[in-house]
Amino acid sequence: MRSLNCDLIIIGGGPGGYVAAIRASQLGARVLVIEKDQLGGTCLNRGCIPTKALHRSAEVFGLLKEVETFGLARLDCLGGRPPGVFEHALSVAERLRRGIGTLLKSHGVDVIHGTAQIEAAGRVRVTNSDGRDSEFETAQIIIATGSEPIFPPIRGLEHAAALGTSLELKGQLPESAVIIGGGIIGLEYASIFAALEVEVSVVELLPSVLPMFDQDVVRRFTLALKKRGVRLLTEARVTEIAPGDGGLEVTVVTAEGDQTLVTERVYLATGRRPFFGGLDLDRLGIQYDRRGIMVNEYLETSVSGILAVGDCIGEPLLAHVASMEGIVAAENLFGRKRPIDYRVVPNCVFTFPELASVGHTEASAAEAGIGVCTGRFNFAANGKAMALGETDGLVKLVAEAASGRIIGGQVMGPHASDLIAEIALAVNHGLTAEQIAGTIHAHPTLPEAVAEAAEDILGHAIHQTRPTRR
């Protein structure tokens, strides 16, 4: 057993852990990261990044099938589902994973692969794959152990794969798939699979999908999803998965009665929960509950010298939130002390069409007793969206009625995940609809739709038909 002294040990090399390591190193700390699997965590290796690579493959495939709509000659070489999309997704993840290793090395951060156990505040034991132990002493510890999938009580669950964890991104696309769960992960994969000519059904327990969006946006999105070939069963529950003559038979209970879906593969997207990495939190006296490790506004746990960031501390389970928590935790330890700020958290859904939201919805503002006015602008009237052939969707802004200050926004349509950044900035800095509308937006671009939605709040959107006066 060897001992090494350092300023900070981080348990977990995902988007919370490795970002905290780099920021702490920038502030002069000697840092050790302990990762039991692969740098980048679930997000980079099995979740966010591979999914976005698949999304792009599906987007390109769709464009190739529709070249005639852009005045190009029809391609006769496309046939069936593309065979190499999983390999492409894995290669993107691999390149990014190597990049993180290079980043950590360039900042002087040490990385050890193994399973960590906190012996006491300031002392960590690591067991590598050979069963050998090493012990390290440190001034501070950050726990960044991530999250794990939730497995619902379904008979025959062993026949399903959990998206983002046990799914092996290799081999051939299935001819058909049933996805259990209509949250962000489930809808992203459903949308991607459908675009790649996989027959796909989504089974969702709740009456509607995507509760972080207003229902008028959800209705438009649901219709768009169905037009793209996704079968969506809401208020439905899977009770059994069993092998049958034609593939896997999925028993679904709905308000209209039981249904049996026959499919090649079944995937789980029923949510995730905090994962504590096998750490003995009870022995250490670290307080936690089913929602995650309890931390204060400075990300400090109940034990002095131990902080926690990322999915292990609970909602929202988002990589960009984990990274910001990592930065804030490192700065609280080695720089200026500041609380974590969750007021403005963008949420992006990489479906076809894309969705994004930030801040208040019209519904949540009403629940909070905030009087609001809203502005909308459809991409059907946006020149860039027309040129792209992606006119399905809208920008919706929510403003405080008394001040005109933007307090939220939602985007459905092309590059929604990029457009939400301007709205997030507006919410974060209390910009008004007049300030957004008064800022010159380049033409022809998609962000013009944000400006026009702001103008709609003010009552003078330019490229919008005027309501008929009575």
Catalytic amino acids?
443
Cα 11 vs. chain centroid, distance in angstroms?
Answer: 22
Separation of alpha carbons 96 and 187, rounded Å: 25
SS3 call for 295: coil
Detail the DSSP E strand segments found in 88-210: 110-113, 115-120, 123-127, 133-143, 147-149, 160-162, 176-180, 199-203
Is the preceding peptide bond at 316 cis, omega within 30 degrees of 0? yes
Sign of the torsion angle spanned by Cα atoms 389, 393, 398, 399 = positive
Separation of alpha carbons 374 and 350, rounded Å: 24
In 77-101, which positions are buried (b, 16+ CB within 10 angstroms) versus exposed (e)? eeeeebeebbebbbebbeebbeebb
What DSSP character marks residue 155? B
Tokens for 465, please give them.
Answer: 């038909």
- How many CB atoms lie under 10 A from the CB of residue 402? 10
Do the beta carbons of residue 293 and residue 277 sit within 8 Å?
Answer: no
Tell me the helices (H) and strands (E) count for the chain, helix number first: 13, 24
What DSSP character marks residue 466? P
Do the beta carbons of residue 401 and residue 373 sit within 8 Å?
Answer: yes
SS3 call for 454: helix
Strand partners, 432: 405
Do the beta carbons of residue 257 and residue 244 sit within 8 Å?
Answer: no
Separation of alpha carbons 302 and 314, rounded Å: 16
Separation of alpha carbons 389 and 462, rounded Å: 22
Query: Which residue in this structure is represented by tokens 């190739």?
Result: 64
